[in-house]
């Protein structure tokens, strides 16, 4: 694999894992702050919704990540 491909895949994996962390924190807050039963987060509906949200975040990152990186390079920013 090319280095650019591995860097891109790594960025997608980081995005997916950070999305999963946000979903888990949301579930934890829902349980303690709003009294949502834990059984709700074990249903197939929630699991499919969480998987869909993770895929959506990776897709958004894939679409808009390139344009953000190109804009930073064009402005001369060194942070990537």
* End-to-end Cα distance, the chain: 21
pLDDT of residue 56: 96
pLDDT of residue 74: 55
- pTM equals 0.75
Residue ranges of the chain whose pLDDT lies below 50: 73
pLDDT of residue 78: 56
- Count of CB atoms situated within 10 Å of the CB of 14: 12
**To 5 degrees, how large is the angle CA 50–CA 52–CA 54?**
70
Residues 14-29 pLDDT 10s: 999 999 999 999 999 9
Q: At what angle do helices 44-75 and 3-34 cross, to 10 degrees?
A: 130
pLDDT of residue 76: 56
As to burial, measured by CB atoms within 10 angstroms (0-12 exposed, 13-18 middle, 19+ buried), residue 20 is middle
pLDDT of residue 24: 96
- Residue extents of the structural domains in the chain: 3-75
């Amino acid at each position: 694999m090319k280095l650019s491909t591995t860097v891109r895949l790594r960025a997608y994996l980081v995005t997916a894992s950070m999305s999963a962390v946000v979903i888990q924190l949301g579930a934890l807050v829902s349980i303690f702050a709003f009294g949502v039963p834990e059984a709700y987060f074990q249903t197939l509906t929630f699991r499919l919704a969480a998987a869909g949200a993770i895929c959506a975040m990776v897709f958004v990152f894939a679409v808009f990540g390139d344009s953000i990186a190109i804009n930073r390079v064009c402005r001369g920013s060194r942070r990537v």
